[in-house]
Amino acid sequence: MLNIVVCIKQVPDTTDVKIDPKTNTLIREGVESIMNPFDRYAVEEALRLKEQHEGKITVLTMGPPQAESILREAISMGVDEGVLLSDRAFAGSDTWATSYTLASGIKALGEFDIIICGKQAADGDTAQVGPGISVHLNIPQLTYVKKVEKLENDLITVERLIEEGYEVIESKLPCLMTVVKEINEPRIPSLKGMMRSKKAEIKKLSASDLDVKAEYLGLDGSPTQVVKIFSPPHRQKGEMLEGEVSDIAEKLFSVIKEIK
């Protein structure tokens, strides 16, 4: 039986998070919290592997108590169990502390065959946590996976996206993979799944349930720190071209010629 763990994260819906350029403060009206879009692909891939190979999927997240909602969303898609790692001690974690904490959470769950993560989180956008977990757990990592070609006898073969095309690489299990959007199309939850997720019991783990050292957690365990936030340089509205089509074409051509 295949034991799959999927790490997911609750993020603000990033299209809504903006800085007001006049006041330089964050505009946050009604910013919804959602499952990190890339993680939905990770959950979907886990579901497809389970459909082919028989197994169990546990979905894991590190976050504040409200992160429970994304675990339930994953259960409504068909995942078997949801685990929430939540503790004030985890607050302030950068990717180092986050990958350490998640790795400890995974160890606390027991045996696993594959860990699947989304490529990156839509708020931090760093893509560091997946590889970080694999180092903490000392297992091979397969990043940018766009297709699982084969999974058989404890060996997995995948296609890994690179700039000029893709690699075909093979690894022993257990291993960790991060997936890109090309890999699948995430399913919409079913009504039965939603009913199930409503009743599901979410397992909650705090720092005391994990085998962790305090100096590796939260803010203290984070080598990097944000010192400033500001809005990106604002593009000014440019020139509107008017007139006959031929005049416009002429003007555009001269602009292009200058650039070339």
Partner 1 sequence: MDYLLTEEQKMMQDLARKIADEKIRPVAKELDETCKFPYEIMKVLADSDLFGVYLPEEYGGFGGGVFELCLITEELSKACGGISVCYAASALGTIPILIMGNDEQKKKYLPDLASGKKLAAFAVTEPEAGSDASAIQTTAKKEGDHYVLNGMKHFITNGEIADTYVIIAMTNKSKGARGATAFIVEKGTKGFTFGKKEDKLGIRASATSELVFNDCKVPAENVLGKEGTGFIATMRTFDMSRPGVAAQALGIAQGAMDLTVAYAIKRRQFGKPISRFQGIQFMLADMATEIEAARALVYSTARMIDAKKGNVAGVSAMSKMYASDVAMKVTVDCVQIYGGYGYMKDYPIEKYMRDAKITQIYEGTNQIQRNIIAANLLKKFRKK
Partner 2 sequence: MKVLKNIQILEDKCVGCQACLGACPYGAIYMEGKKAKIDYDKCTLCGSCISKCKFEAIKIEKKAGFKSAVSLEEAKGVWVLAEQKNNKVQSVSYELLNKGRELADDLRVELTAILLGSDIKEEAQCLIHRGADKVIIIEDTILNHYQSGTYSAVIAEIIKKYKPEIILSGATTIGRSLVPRLAIKLNTGLTADCTALEIDKEKKLLLQTRPAFGGNIMATIMCQNHRPQMATVRHKVFAEAIEDQKRKGEIIEEKPSSELLCSDIILKDIVEEIEETINITEADIIVAAGRGVGTKENLSIIEELAKALDGAVAASRSIVDAGWIPYSHQVGQTGRTVCPKLYIACGISGQIQHLVGMQSSDVIIAINKNPDAPIFKVANYGVVGDLFKIIPALIKRIQSSSK
Instruction: Please state, in angstroms and as integers, the Cα–Cα distance from residue 191 to each residue in 72, 171, 188, following that order.
Output: 13, 37, 10
Structure token pair of residue 220: 């203290």
Min dist CB 102 to partner 2, Å, is 12
The smaller minimum CB distance to partner 2, of residues 3 and 14, is found at 14
Q: Which residues pair with 62 in a beta bridge?
A: 85
CA torsion through residues 150, 151, 152, 156, sign: positive
Instruction: Please state, in angstroms and as integers, the Cα–Cα distance from residue 9 to each residue in 99, 125, 173, 178, following that order.
Output: 12, 12, 24, 14
Q: Is residue 199 close enough to count as binding partner 2 by CB under 8 A?
A: no
Q: Is residue 194 close enough to count as binding partner 1 by CB under 8 A?
A: yes
**173 vs 183: CA distance, rounded Å:** 20
Of residues 101 through 160, those in contact with partner 2 by CB under 8 A are 122-132, 134-136, 140-144, 157, 159-160
Selected from 182, 190, 192, 198, the binder of partner 2 by CB under 8 A is: 182
**69 vs 82: CA distance, rounded Å:** 10
Among partner 2, partner 1, none, what does residue 224 contact (CB within 5–8 Å per kind)?
A: partner 2
The smaller minimum CB distance to partner 2, of residues 26 and 195, is found at 26
Q: Is residue 1 close enough to count as binding partner 2 by CB under 8 A?
A: no
Selected from 153, 199, 208, 238, the binder of partner 2 by CB under 8 A is: 238
Min dist CB 196 to partner 2, Å, is 27
Instruction: Please state, in angstroms and as integers, the Cα–Cα distance from residue 153 to each residue in 46, 112, 213, following that order.
Output: 18, 15, 36
The label of the residue with tokens 């000014």 reads 236
Min dist CB 217 to partner 2, Å, is 9
Among partner 1, partner 2, none, what does residue 41 contact (CB within 5–8 Å per kind)?
A: none
Question: Segment contacting partner 1 (CB under 8 A): 13-21, 22-30, 99-107, 184-192?
Answer: 184-192
